[in-house]
């Protein structure tokens, strides 16, 4: 801890979110480097190297450069704790280094003078210590933005160093600092005051863990077949490459490239092997695909297959020049002493981006969260389809897992060839293939020895395998005959491959019925076949031959049923993840079941119908719902402009309608029977906005109203009630972006003290009615902590520091209420504030609940006088949390749960559990992503409202 004395002396950890000093336990794996962009008094970059449990740190005013001619000043500063490596956030004003911090780049590093030592921490740290002491340190960086060799050189001033890029293949004159977003959160530092950032443990930044020897071999993880792509926050998507799947093992002995069938391919692709050799010295395992491209630049399996058939060194060398093959890596499974197969895919993906040294022939596969968009783009680029991977999935070697899903535009599968029929005319040598699959109800496992791996082209010996399925009792089941899909070349090729496999006996468990002579063959050749579907009798409908698959072990071929991921339509079902139950873990299934209980089958059909109609490209049309018609106009009008900070496209009225339709099963219960105040923005959030309490215009018959006496004007007014989906969508068509409601309901119930529904005849009648008895006590937590960007006299803008302070007060309020035997519930306001509610039976009127809120708030203010204010003077509120007990007044409104807000980013007022609030930020919940998050919170909040407690009884005799 003595190493961090200077760091500690400069900071007050009760006031700054920076990590307190600590030294982690020594682990295995490469050393970490991190570059943090820091917007303090001036924007600069903090360059940090892990050594001896701390981060050796230099402040680099202009940031790193990839140009060897640039000598960037790097000022040596105090050591930082290891946990600081993942710090992103806002250091509050008045604290040391006040400003925003992001992780601009991070990865692994090693001293590289005389060779690297990624695999040997002790040796690497020794050389780092000696280099810093000597004033000259040469290091190799493997980050997402910074790769290659750099030097740190001390000048005559002990604190002043120079950071210089060495000349290597990663040197460039391009400005690397133009890449201005965090490699962890994707946020730019200029947006950090507003955009949410969630820290991960520093131990997850780079490959780390217990030291492990590199596995000699294992089989690749495989994906289940699914029928359609989808977009879900828990999944990432990659284009499906049309090539040979390969596991690459790299160590001091060389490069081994193993196909799925266990063939050694390094000798067949020597140029790829040579480039892969540069990835590491002491141990790397990559999972990826070898791909060849045709003359048009699209992936071509036939080109790759022709390349695979070459035998002589001369042919291979010529082919490498004419049609080079590339290796696309999509997984990192082992790196310099750390076995990563149990790490989640999201982390392995990041480690791959860091550790892979790309070259013209070695590339990383692109990945994205929007599976639907990537699928469209992949097909347009000539790829087979897409592969979806759960972000939390571990690497299940040798297994076909529902955590990975592959989607292709048509069904295709691999089948074993068991024979062929004679054809007619030009097709006489081969009419149709007879194909099947292994039916193995009781597979066994046996260990295999490890024969030496051949590196000679075409030798084709099976690689070692730690375990392999053996079909001792398996039966080859006939699937279909395949006669379509051949041309003269493939016909001759397949016939030549089948000739040596002729057999006298039928390999199928049951002899298939065929018309004409059959030649049986040993089941040692695999064909990929396209087909429409499986028929009821277990045959293939409309099968078409695609190609032979030399990279597939015929003994592993079984029947594969596509996993259904969506309805027959490509539309996403509202609130669903678009994945059927069998592909989801139990937690998702339970959440989906709970959601379905909140709406009837009729609602579901109507919502699906709305979403289908909104797929129309028309800018105006009549929407039909529950036999009602709503005229929709200006559907492409932008309501929320594109938001660069959130990487969010422009959102239109059509997007608002989609969101409200999908969220309606959870939103409508909060709107029902409550007088509604609308905030309308017909031209979007950049245009005019106005409050509308009363509706005097013509309205559709399905829109309900309630007439309420106004004590301010001594007259009656009609309020709208949003009691059904047509009303909700009609309001959105009218430009209503925000929905604010009373805290009481115009509906009798067993919990209501009043039995009167006379709201309009007089003030006395209104005060005696059920509408004067709220459902909850409200605590409105409103931070008056400014971002610094507000116009003079404006309310505080959403900023992270303010929201974090508001959360502190919310948790303090909850603790106080719990001491009174009261349980509170919470939601975000959608802006900087929080709304805390204590559900009650309707036995207290508004005057009583206002008094209760004031008593509790004042007691909380006495406990936290520096943080809370109840002053009405805005200048006196500045820098504190304002608690407004006057929200507990009849006629006052708050935005309803799930209501959008007319603010940049399209945030939503989101109900949360208290555990979720701890790590939440308002912009975590936007109309673009709330539907994916509904299983987490929605119905639990409704349940809390139903479990009302009698506040009057709980407070009896208790002094606030």
Is residue 821 classed as helix, strand or coil in its secondary structure?
coil
> Which residue shows structure tokens 């690397």?
176
* Pairing relationship of beta strands 362-364 and 326-335 according to DSSP bridges: parallel
DSSP state of 370: B
**Cα 333 to chain centroid, rounded:** 21
Q: What DSSP element (H or E) covers 664?
A: helix 653-671
Any catalytic annotation for residue 511? no
**Cα 29 to chain centroid, rounded:** 26
- Beta-carbon contacts of 692 under 8 Å, excluding residues fewer than 6 positions away, are 677, 678, 679, 680
Dist. CA 436–CA 554, nearest whole Å: 10
Angle value at C-alpha 99, between 98 and 104, nearest 5 degrees: 130
Signed CA dihedral, 839, 845, 850, 852: sign only: negative
Distance (Å) of CA 327 to CA 170, 254, 269, 278, 464: 19, 17, 10, 13, 22
Distance (Å) of CA 713 to CA 266, 676, 677, 717, 762: 87, 19, 18, 10, 12
* 599-605: long-range contacts, CB 8 A cutoff, minimum separation 24: 599/665, 603/664, 603/665, 603/725, 604/573, 604/574
DSSP state of 960: -
Q: Please, which residues bridge with residue 897 across strands?
A: none
Residue closest to 252 by CA, chosen among 311, 195, 336: 336
List the catalytic residue out of 56, 165, 240, 653: 240
Dist. CA 766–CA 757, nearest whole Å: 8
Classify residue 313 by burial, with Cβ atoms within 10 Å: 0-12, 13-18, 19+. exposed
Dist. CA 290–CA 292, nearest whole Å: 7
Q: What DSSP element (H or E) covers 941?
A: helix 930-946
Distance (Å) of CA 613 to CA 565, 616, 672: 22, 6, 25
Is residue 178 classed as helix, strand or coil in its secondary structure?
helix
DSSP state of 26: P
- Tokens standing for residue 772: 């004067």
Is residue 832 classed as helix, strand or coil in its secondary structure?
coil
Q: Are 665 and 575 in contact (CB under 8 A)?
A: yes
First to last CA, the chain: 44
Question: For the chain, what is the total number of helices (H) and then of strands (E)?
Answer: 19, 46
The per-residue b/e assignment along 548-567, b for 16 or more CB within 10 angstroms, e otherwise, is bbbbbbbbbbbebebbebbe
Q: DSSP string of 127-173?
A: HHHHHHHHTEEEEEEEESS-EEEEEEEE-SSTTEEEEEE-SSTT--S
> Which residue shows structure tokens 């082992």?
334
Dist. CA 158–CA 55, nearest whole Å: 18
Dist. CA 695–CA 512, nearest whole Å: 75
- Beta-carbon contacts of 469 under 8 Å, excluding residues fewer than 6 positions away, are 440, 443, 444, 445, 555, 556
Q: DSSP string of 587-651?
A: HHHHHHHHHHHTS-HHHHHHHHHHHHHHT---SSEEEEETTEEEEE--TT-EEE--BTTTTB--E
Dist. CA 823–CA 951, nearest whole Å: 10
Phi–psi pair at 155, nearest 5 degrees? -95, -170
Q: What DSSP element (H or E) covers 954?
A: helix 951-955
Q: Which residues are catalytic?
A: 240
């Amino acid at each position: 801890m003595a190493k961090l004395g200077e760091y500690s002396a400069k900071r007050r950890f009760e006031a700054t979110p920076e990590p307190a000093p600590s030294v982690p336990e020594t682990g295995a794996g490469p050393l970490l480097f991190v570059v943090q962009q820091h917007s303090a008094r001036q924007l600069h970059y903090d360059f940090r190297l892990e050594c001896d449990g701390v981060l050796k740190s230099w402040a680099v005013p202009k940031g790193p450069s990839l140009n060897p001619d640039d000598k960037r000043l790097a000022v040596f500063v105090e050591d930082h704790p290891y946990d600081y490596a993942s710090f992103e956030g806002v250091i509050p004003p008045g604290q040391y280094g006040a400003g925003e911090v992001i992780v601009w780049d991070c990865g692994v590093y090693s001293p590289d003078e005389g060779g690297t030592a990624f695999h040997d921490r002790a040796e690497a740290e020794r050389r780092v210590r000696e280099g810093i002491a000597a004033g000259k340190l040469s290091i190799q960086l493997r980050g997402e933005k910074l790769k290659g060799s750099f030097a740190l050189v001390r000048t005559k001033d002990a604190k002043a160093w120079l950071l210089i890029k060495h000349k290597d293949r990663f040197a460039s004159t391009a400005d690397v600092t133009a890449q201005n977003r965090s490699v962890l959160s994707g946020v730019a530092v200029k947006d950090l005051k507003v955009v949410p950032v969630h820290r991960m443990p520093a131990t997850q930044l780079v490959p780390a863990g217990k030291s492990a020897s590199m596995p000699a071999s294992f089989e690749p993880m495989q994906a289940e077949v699914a029928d359609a792509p989808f977009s879900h926050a828990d999944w990432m998507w990659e284009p499906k490459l049309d090539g040979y799947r390969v596991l690459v093992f790299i160590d001091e002995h060389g490069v081994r490239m193993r196909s799925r069938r266990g063939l050694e391919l390094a000798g067949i692709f020597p140029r790829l092997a040579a480039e892969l050799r540069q990835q590491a010295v002491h141990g790397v395992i990559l999972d990826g695909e070898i791909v060849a491209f045709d003359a048009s630049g699209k992936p071509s399996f036939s080109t790759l297959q022709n390349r695979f058939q070459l035998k002589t060194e001369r042919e291979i060398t010529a082919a490498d020049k004419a049609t080079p093959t590339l290796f696309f890596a999509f997984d990192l499974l082992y790196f310099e002493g750390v076995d990563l197969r149990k790490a989640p895919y999201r982390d392995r993906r990041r480690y791959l981006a860091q550790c892979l040294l790309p070259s013209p022939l070695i590339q990383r596969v692109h990945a994205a969260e929007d599976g639907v968009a990537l699928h469209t783009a992949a097909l347009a680029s000539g790829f087979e389809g897409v592969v979806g991977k759960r972000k939390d999935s571990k690497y299940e070697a040798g297994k076909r897992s529902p955590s990975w899903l592959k989607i292709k535009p048509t069904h295709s599968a691999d089948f074993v060839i068991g024979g062929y029929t004679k054809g007619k005319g030009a097709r006489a040598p081969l009419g149709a293939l007879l194909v099947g699959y292994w039916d193995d109800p009781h597979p066994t496992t046996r260990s295999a020895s490890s024969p030496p791996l051949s590196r000679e082209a075409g030798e084709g010996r099976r690689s070692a395998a730690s375990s392999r399925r053996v079909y001792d009792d398996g039966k080859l089941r006939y699937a279909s005959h395949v006669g379509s899909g051949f041309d003269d070349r493939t016909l001759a090729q397949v016939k030549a491959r089948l000739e040596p496999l002729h057999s006298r006996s039928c390999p199928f468990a049951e002899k298939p019925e065929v018309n004409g002579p059959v030649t049986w063959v040993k089941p040692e050749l695999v064909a990929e076949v396209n087909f429409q579907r499986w028929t009821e009798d277990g045959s293939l409908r409309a099968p078409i031959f695609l190609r032979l698959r030399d990279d597939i072990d015929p003994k592993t071929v079984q029947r594969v049923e596509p996993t259904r991921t969506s309805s027959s339509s490509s539309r996403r079902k509202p609130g669903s993840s678009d994945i059927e139950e069998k592909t989801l873990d139990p937690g998702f299934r339970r959440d989906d079941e709970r959601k379905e209980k909140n709406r009837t089958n009729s609602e579901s059909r109507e919502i699906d119908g709305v979403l289908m109609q909104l797929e129309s490209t028309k800018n105006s049309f009549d929407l039909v719902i529950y036999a009602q018609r709503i005229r929709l106009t200006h559907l492409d009008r932008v309501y929320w402009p594109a938001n660069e900070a959130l990487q969010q496209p422009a959102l239109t009225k059509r997007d608002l309608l989609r969101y409200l339709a999908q969220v309606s099963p959870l939103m409508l219960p909060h709107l029902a029977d409550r007088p509604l105040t609308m905030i309308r923005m017909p031209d979007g959030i950049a245009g005019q906005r106005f409050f509308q309490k009363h509706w005097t215009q013509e309205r559709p018959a399905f829109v309900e109203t309630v007439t309420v006496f106004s004590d301010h004007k001594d007259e009656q007014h009609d309020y709208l009630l949003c009691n059904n989906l047509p009303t909700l969508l009609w309001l959105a068509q009218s430009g209503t972006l925000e929905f604010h409601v009373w805290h009481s309901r115009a509906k009798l119930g067993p919990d209501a003290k009043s039995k009167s529904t006379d709201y309009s005849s007089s003030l006395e009648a209104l005060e005696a009615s059920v509408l004067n008895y709220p459902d909850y006590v409200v605590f409105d937590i409103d931070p008056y902590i400014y971002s610094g960007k507000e116009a003079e006299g404006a309310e505080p803008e959403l900023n992270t520091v303010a929201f974090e302070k508001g959360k502190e007060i919310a948790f303090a309020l909850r603790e106080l209420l719990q001491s009174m035997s009261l349980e509170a519930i919470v939601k975000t306001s959608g802006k900087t504030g929080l709304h805390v509610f204590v559900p009650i039976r309707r036995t207290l009127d508004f005057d009583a609940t206002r008094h209760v809120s004031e008593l509790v708030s004042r007691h909380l203010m006495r406990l936290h006088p520096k943080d809370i204010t109840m002053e009405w003077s805005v200048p006196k509120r500045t820098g504190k949390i304002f608690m407004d007990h006057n929200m507990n007044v009849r006629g006052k409104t708050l935005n309803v749960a799930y209501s959008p807000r007319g603010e940049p980013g399209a945030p939503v007022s989101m109900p949360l559990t208290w555990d979720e609030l701890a790590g939440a930020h308002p912009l975590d919940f936007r109309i673009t992503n709330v539907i994916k998050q509904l299983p987490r919170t929605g119905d639990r909040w409704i349940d809390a409202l139903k479990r009302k407690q009698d506040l009057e009884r709980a407070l009896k005799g208790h002094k606030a």
